[in-house]
C-alpha cells in the first residue's frame, strides 16, 4: 500500500518550484511570521521569519536533468551515501546490492524514480522513528517500498524510510504505473533515507560518504 492521494507528475519536469506537499506548511509559517511582525517584538519576529525560511528551503523542489545512458540507476533522493553493500532484499526475497541515501533536514526531500520502468508492486510497513542514519532504520522504521521493473527486465526496489523527525511518507506510485528515471513519485517530510536494492550484478558508482542529488547523480550501472 502507498500513502498519498495526488497523482505523480508524468515528466521529470516541470514541478512547482516549491513542492505541493509544502504549501500548507509554508502558508502557516508565513501567517505566523506576519502576525509576529505585526503584534510581537523583534526577537519573536526574527524567529518567525527564520522558521518561514526553513520551511521554504525544506520544501524546495528544483529542476534536475537526468543523465542519458543505458542501464543507469539514478539517486532517488538528495543526501549522503551511508551504505553500499550486498544484503537481502526483504521485499523481493533475493540477494541484492543495497545503496542507501540519508537525507538531513536541509536536503531536498522530493523522491524520484531511479530507473525507467513499470511499477510492479508497492508495499507500506508501519514502524518506529529511530535515526534514519542508523542501519537498523532500514528494517525497524516506518517505510514504503516501490518495485520498479526496467524495460530490460531488471528489478529495482526503492524504499522510502521515515526518520527520527520524519512522520509522513508520501508515495504516489501505483501498480502498473510507467515511470521515467528522474520522475517524481513521492516525498518524505523532515529527515529520512531511501534504500535502493539492485541486482548483485550492478556496478556501484558511489562510495560511502558521497553526497548525491536526486535525478542528477548516478548510483550504479545495471
Respond yes or no: is residue 215 known to be catalytic. Answer: no
Q: Which residues contact 199 (CB under 8 A, 6 or more apart)?
A: 96, 97, 154, 155, 222
Task: Give the separation between CA 100 and CA 79, rounded to whole angstroms.
Answer: 9
Compute how many other C-beta atoms are within 10 angstroms of the C-beta atom of residue 161. Answer: 27
Sheet holding 184-189, edge to edge: 110-112, 184-189, 168-171
> In this structure, how many other beta carbons lie within 10 angstroms of the beta carbon of residue 173?
25
Active-site pick, 110, 138, 158, 192: 192
- Residues assigned a catalytic role: 192
Amino acid at each position: 500500500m502507498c500513502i498519498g492521494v495526488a497523482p505523480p507528475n508524468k515528466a521529470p519536469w516541470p514541478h512547482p518550484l516549491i513542492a505541493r506537499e509544502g504549501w500548507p506548511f509554508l502558508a502557516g509559517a508565513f501567517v505566523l511570521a506576519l502576525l509576529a511582525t505585526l503584534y510581537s517584538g523583534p526577537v519573536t519576529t526574527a524567529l518567525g521569519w527564520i522558521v518561514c525560511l526553513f520551511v521554504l528551503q525544506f520544501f524546495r523542489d528544483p529542476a534536475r536533468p537526468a543523465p542519458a545512458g543505458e542501464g543507469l540507476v539514478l539517486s532517488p533522493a538528495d543526501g549522503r551515501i551511508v551504505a553500499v553493500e550486498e544484503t537481502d532484499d526483504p521485499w523481493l526475497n533475493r540477494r541484492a546490492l543495497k545503496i542507501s541515501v540519508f537525507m538531513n533536514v536541509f536536503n531536498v526531500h522530493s523522491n524520484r524514480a531511479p530507473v525507467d520502468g513499470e511499477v510492479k508492486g508497492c508495499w507500506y510497513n508501519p514502524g518506529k522513528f529511530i535515526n534514519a542514519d542508523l542501519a537498523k532504520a532500514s528494517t525497524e522504521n516506518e517505510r514504503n517500498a516501490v518495485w520498479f521493473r526496467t524495460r530490460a527486465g531488471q528489478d529495482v526496489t526503492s524504499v522510502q524510510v521515515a526518520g527520527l523527525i520524519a512522520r509522513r511518507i508520501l508515495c504516489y506510485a501505483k501498480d502498473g504505473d510507467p515511470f521515467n528515471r528522474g520522475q517524481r513519485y513521492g516525498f518524505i517530510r523532515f529527515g529520512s533515507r531511501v534504500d535502493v536494492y539492485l541486482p548483485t550484478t550492478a556496478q556501484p558508482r558511489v562510495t560511502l560518504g558521497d553526497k548525491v542529488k536526486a535525478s542528477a547523480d548516478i548510483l550504479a550501472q545495471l
